[in-house]
């Protein structure tokens, strides 16, 4: 049995699909692939995402140990997000699927 965000799955692939499905999830995860990113920077690199939607998705990822949240004692306080080991492993899978897609569908113009 596999779980993500309180939901149980018999198949790990179904669990994987639920992790990445949604308009912003893959974009958020890929934006964190190169290292820690502050909330404001993350929102700027995802044009069109609202602070509410970004926060909700970040909470889901944090709750499920895919990212960590670090509060910096600045004035005003700043928050940075980074991938955990689990999150980095997920990124490698996503990059592999992207590579497969490039080969299967052909690279975009």
Q: What is the mean pLDDT of residues 60-68?
A: 95
22-60: pLDDT as tens digits: 999 999 999 999 999 999 999 999 999 999 999 999 999
- The pair of three-digit structure tokens given for residue 93, joined into one six-digit string: 């899978």
Q: What is the DSSP string of 31-65?
A: HTTTS-EEHHHHHHTSTT--HHHHHHHHHHHHHTT
8-19: pLDDT as tens digits: 999 988 989 988
Q: For the chain, which domains are there?
A: 8-85 (1.10.10.10)
| pLDDT value for 108 | 66
DSSP 8-state class, residue 77:
-
Beta strand 78-83 with 37-38 is antiparallel
* Whole-number Å distance between alpha carbons of 62 and 28: 12
């Amino acid at each position: 049995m596999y779980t993500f965000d309180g939901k149980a799955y018999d198949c790990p692939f179904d669990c994987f699909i639920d992790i990445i499905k949604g308009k912003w999830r893959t974009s958020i995860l890929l934006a964190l692939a190169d290292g820690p990113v502050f909330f404001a920077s993350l929102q700027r690199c995802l044009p069109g995402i609202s602070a509410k939607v970004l926060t909700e998705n970040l909470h889901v990822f944090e709750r499920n140990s895919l990212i960590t949240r670090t509060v910096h004692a600045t004035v005003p306080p700043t928050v940075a997000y980074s991938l955990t080991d689990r999150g980095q492993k997920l990124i490698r899978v996503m990059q592999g699927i992207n590579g497969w897609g490039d080969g299967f569908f052909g690279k975009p113009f």
